[in-house]
Structure 1
Amino acid sequence: MTLYEFNSLSEHDKYDHIFTKGEFIDYKIEKEKRFALYAIDMFFVEIEYNNEKNKIQNLRSFKTGKLLDKYSDFR
């Protein structure tokens, strides 16, 4: 699946694809939010959770950039 194909899925299908076919890579915690990074084929998906509300807030798909850099230990 390409990033374009993934982005054209419905929200429900995106989450289904991530949790059934995605590979969990890492997570980060920032204040009341938690971010989980998944790899799918040749791109990444970040899921943002709100710890206080115990709810998924957002989903971002990307290939490179600052979103990916924050999971690197190299600063």
Structure 2
Amino acid sequence: MEPHGAALSRLTVKELQMRYADPFGETTAARNKAWLVKRIDWKVQAAAPRGLSVHVLNQTSWSLFSLQY
């Protein structure tokens, strides 16, 4: 079984835009395929029973903290 991100990377931008609405509950006008794949994959992992790894959560927290200052 392949990782979710690998399956997403084979979709077209239009298909990714439609898939984006499932986990986020809203549409997007973004046309950057790599960004769409990362965002969808991140959201799906976050919603999974085991969620995101501690490493990813720490990176996200640090990034948000850096934006504030």
Please identify which structure carries the higher strand content.
1
More helix by share: 2
Could you state the TM-score of these two structures normalised by the residue count of structure 1? 0.36
Asked which structure has the greater CA Rg, the reply is 2
Q: Please, what TM-score do these two structures have when normalized by structure 2?
A: 0.38
